[in-house]
Amino acid sequence: MTSTLGIILAVSLMIIMFGMGLSLTINDFKRVLIYPKAVFIGLVSQIIILPLIGYLIAVGLDLSPTIAVGIMLLAASPGGATSNILTHLAKGDLALSVSLTAIASVLSIITIPIIVQFALTHFTDQTQEVSIDALTMFKQLFIMVLFPVGIGMFIKAKLHDFATKMEKPVNIASALIFVLVIIGVVFSIRDVFMDYLSEAGVPSIILNISTMVIGFLLAIMFKLNKAQAISISIGTGIQNGTLAITLATIALNNAEYSIVPAVYGLLMFFTGGLIIFLRKPLGVMEKD
């Protein structure tokens, strides 16, 4: 991957995270105290169950090291702005979705290095120290995630009307940027992309569907309302593909690890769209 593409990826992620920050306030974090059960279940689904399912898929399907690491890298990335948008369209609990995204993004500073380090060591059989520095990744995550989110929140607090007007265009721009990122990555690895497409497609769709179903059922099991269940389902099954791609290409300096996130980024819109389609005809309304 060229340094130019790496810079474009980093800037793209920062724009998306900035857009998310425009929809956040301090009160979103206070909801952790108001809705502790829903937040806890959502975080368990994203932080623990999701990587576990990713690992089981990688081992169960006997995936190649490249695809296995890609699956784990994707599973380590928390839901991003896309999950918030899909939650809103599917009439889920948007406040819960945004809160989960924010908290999971903060926690990812700790969880991503651990999960990625494990994946590289386990699936690539590297006995020497892997080419990843936790401190460097912390800095990258701060610059690409926390800082732009914080700027967005600051603007939201100081220029509320402006931030409200900018939310929709920024979200649209984020979606377009994500598509362009996928196209750019696919182009940069076009020589090997088709070779891995068939192998990456199956585990990607299994990860997507299984985690969405498990997230939904877990929420229902703990008697959360349907809107909250939808939020947790989408938050668990719709990962931040842009973050996974950026980490693969910048932190790990291996564009091939981004094959799974790129393929997944295309497939998740179909499953997310299906939820929206099913949600509306069913006329499922939020419960208090």
Q: Which domains does the chain have, with CATH numbers?
A: 3-279 (1.20.1530.20)
The encoded tokens of residue 119 equal 């994946």
Measured CA to CA, the distance from residue 256 to residue 250 in angstroms comes to 12
Stretch 174-202: mean pLDDT:
70
132, with CB counted inside 10 A (0-12, 13-18, 19+), is: middle
Closest listed residue to residue 11, CA positions, set 148, 176, 170: 148
What is the band of 216 on the pLDDT scale with cuts at 50, 70, 90? very high
Whole-prediction pTM value?
0.71
pLDDT of residue 59: 93
pLDDT of residue 181: 67
Pairwise pLDDT comparison (76 vs 101), residue with the higher score: 76
Stretch 201-220: mean pLDDT:
92
pLDDT of residue 132: 46
**Is residue 265 within 8 Å of residue 185, measured between CB atoms?**
no
The residue type of 105 is: S
Q: Is residue 75 over pLDDT 60? A: yes
Most confident option among 15-19, 46-50, 82-86, 261-265: 46-50
Q: Is residue 176 over pLDDT 80? A: no
Q: Is residue 128 over pLDDT 60? A: no
Measured CA to CA, the distance from residue 278 to residue 275 in angstroms comes to 5
Measured CA to CA, the distance from residue 164 to residue 161 in angstroms comes to 5
